[in-house]
């Protein structure tokens, strides 16, 4: 081989290596950019909420932690706080919406299930708070389209924000208007949202091979429509359970919690957890969310490390609500609603978001609708 040929080969080799490195750097930064891009429009920003100076919940005395008594001022020493796991933030509030839209789109449809999920990346811990869909609330941005009517059921905020009605001109559509409504009425601070319609919910359950639900007693059997015992449900059967109206709004929420726990258990099973990235990718066009792919990976990572006992579901005490009727000019008739003192609910919400309710040492339960958390097995 001549000297000239060696120079040419050396040059071509150097050029190939440089090109390879350059392509690698380009792909890396492209991936970082794509991973940081939200999959949907972000939520509107909310004014920060101050922690109430006193507990105003009624009836009954303020919840306290048994056995804690402070006699004199004590000296506190700084302690190191563990870093958040999986590269996530310390805390995250996620608004999860189940739409009753029957098609593949989100043009219309009410918010059939409404949950605020508090995710603690440090502990780690997940607490889920259910909002009754029939709460009578003020919905911003709708009065001009409804002849001055600005109050409707909470679930209608989602409907009026979506493109079918578009009473609120924001890219976040129904998810954003529902988040804004929850903030206006109850001080909810949502960092992100995930919205799923009925068909997508069915497909997700089927994609993970169905879910296993345990009906522990005759009382739950009556309101769920399933016999006592273990049941393996496919997507349509799971959807039927979460939409079962037997018993009322609170029993329906209990049915939804059964499915939430069962789906959580399936998603963290060894056979499914490795498929989560593929599941996310396959359903990202059918789910409305402002999460980035990187944030979804953080959630999947945290889910793999989450002890089952650190996932709990909580509802407002049932005796805070009154089933009544309200005249609705939109429907020109009196409709069934849930009435409640919004100041009391706002106080509960603020303490929930601050990690002060439910109390860390509160007893866990499995069925009754109270202000103590329900533990996922």
Block residue for tokens 């949907």 = 40
Q: Residues of the chain with pLDDT > 90: what percent? A: 51
Predicted local confidence at residue 306, as pLDDT: 85
Between CA 236 and CA 86, with CA 172 as vertex, the angle to 5 degrees is 75
What is the three-class DSSP state of 202?
A: helix
* Rounded-to-10 torsion of CA 22, 28, 29, 34: 140
| 6-19 per-residue burial string, b: 16 or more CB within 10 A, e: under 16 | eeeeeeeeeeeeee
State residue 52's pLDDT score.
53
| DSSP assignments along 157-171, one per residue | HHHHHSTTT--S-ST
- At 189, is the secondary structure helix, strand, or coil? coil
Which pLDDT tens digit goes with each residue over 177-199? 999 999 999 999 999 999 999 98
Helix then strand then coil, % of the chain, to nearest 5: 40, 20, 40
Question: Both tokens of residue 156?
Answer: 């209608």
Q: What are phi and psi of 166, to 5 degrees?
A: 55, 55
- Cα 232 to Cα 241: distance, rounded to the nearest angstrom: 12
Domain spans in the chain, listed from the N-terminal domain onward: 84-197+276-375
Beta strands in the chain (DSSP E): 91-99, 111-120, 125-130, 136-138, 151-153, 192-196, 211-215, 229-233, 287-289, 311-315, 322-328, 333-339, 374-375
H helices present in the chain, as ranges: 3-35, 155-161, 173-186, 198-207, 218-224, 235-242, 249-267, 270-273, 276-283, 293-305, 342-353
Name, in order, each residue with C-beta under 8 angstroms of 24's C-beta and a sequence gap of 6 or more: none
Write the burial class of residue 103 (CB in 10 Å: 0-12 exposed, 13-18 middle, 19+ buried). exposed
Q: What is d(CA 368, CA 186) in angstroms, rounded to the nearest whole number?
A: 24
What length is written for the chain?
A: 377
Burial environment of residue 54 by CB neighbours within 10 A (0 to 12, 13 to 18, 19 or more): exposed
Taking a C-beta distance cutoff of 8 angstroms, is the pair 308, 377 a contact? yes
77, 133 contact by CB (below 8 A): no
Cα 225 to Cα 213: distance, rounded to the nearest angstrom: 12
d(CA 238, CA 242): 6
- pLDDT of the chain, 377 residues: tens digit per residue: 676 655 666 555 544 554 444 444 443 444 445 577 888 999 988 866 655 555 444 443 343 333 333 334 444 545 567 899 999 999 999 999 999 987 778 999 999 999 999 999 999 999 999 999 999 999 999 999 999 999 999 999 999 999 999 999 999 999 999 999 999 999 999 999 999 999 899 998 998 899 999 998 888 888 888 999 999 999 999 999 998 877 777 888 888 889 988 988 888 787 787 677 677 667 777 899 999 989 988 988 888 888 888 989 999 999 999 999 999 998 899 999 999 999 999 999 999 999 999 986 665 554 444 455 666 76
Largest interatomic CA distance in the chain: 96
What span, in angstroms and rounded, lies between the C-alpha atoms of 15 and 210? 53
Residues 155, 336: Cα–Cα separation, whole Å: 13
On whether the CB atoms of residues 124 and 306 are closer than 8 A, the answer is: yes
Contact assessment for residue 79 and residue 365, using Cβ atoms and an 8 Å cutoff: no
Q: What is the pTM of this model?
A: 0.81
Distance CA 189, CA 185 (A): 11
pLDDT per residue over 89-117, tens digit each? Answer: 999 999 999 999 877 789 999 999 999 99
> Looking at residue 11, what is its pLDDT?
52
Query: Model confidence over 350-362: pLDDT tens digits?
Result: 999 999 999 866 6
The answer as to CATH 3.40.720.10 being correct for domain 84-197+276-375 is no
């Amino acid at each position: 081989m001549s000297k000239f040929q060696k120079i040419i080969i050396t040059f071509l080799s150097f050029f190939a290596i440089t090109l390879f490195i350059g392509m690698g750097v380009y792909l890396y930064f492209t991936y970082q950019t794509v991973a940081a891009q939200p999959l949907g429009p972000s939520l509107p920003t909310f004014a920060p909420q101050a922690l109430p100076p006193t507990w105003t919940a009624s009836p009954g005395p303020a919840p306290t932690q048994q056995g804690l008594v402070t006699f004199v001022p004590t000296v506190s020493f700084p302690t190191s706080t563990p870093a958040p796991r999986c590269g996530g933030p310390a805390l995250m509030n996620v608004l999860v919406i189940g739409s009753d839209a029957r098609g593949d789109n989100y043009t219309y449809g009410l918010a059939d299930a409404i949950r605020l999920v508090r995710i603690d990346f440090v502990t780690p811990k997940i607490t889920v708070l259910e909002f009754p869909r029939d709460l009578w609330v003020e919905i911003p941005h709708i009065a001009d389209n409804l002849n001055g009517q600005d109050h409707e059921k909470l679930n209608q905020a989602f409907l009026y924000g979506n493109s079918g009605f578009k009473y609120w001109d924001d890219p976040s559509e129904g998810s954003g208007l529902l988040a804004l409504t929850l903030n206006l009425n109850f001080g909810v601070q949502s960092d992100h949202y995930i919205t799923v319609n009925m068909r997508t919910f069915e497909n997700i359950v089927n994609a993970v091979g169905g879910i296993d639900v345990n009906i522990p007693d005759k009382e739950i059997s009556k309101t769920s429509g399933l016999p006592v015992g273990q049941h393996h449900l496919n997507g349509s059967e799971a959807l039927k359970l979460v939409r079962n109206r037997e018993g009322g709004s609170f029993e329906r929420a209990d049915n939804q919690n059964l499915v939430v726990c069962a789906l959580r258990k399936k998603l963290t099973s060894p056979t499914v957890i490795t498929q989560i990235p593929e599941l996310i990718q396959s359903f990202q066009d059918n789910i409305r969310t402002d999460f980035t792919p990187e944030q979804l990976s953080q959630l999947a990572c945290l889910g793999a490390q989450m002890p089952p006992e650190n996932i709990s579901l909580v509802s407002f005490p049932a005796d805070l609500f009154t089933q009544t009727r309200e005249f609705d000019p939109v429907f020109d008739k009196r409709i069934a609603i849930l009435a409640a003192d919004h100041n009391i609910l706002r106080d509960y919400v603020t303490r929930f978001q601050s990690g002060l309710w439910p109390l860390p040492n509160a007893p866990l339960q499995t069925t009754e609708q109270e202000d103590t958390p329900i533990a996922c097995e």
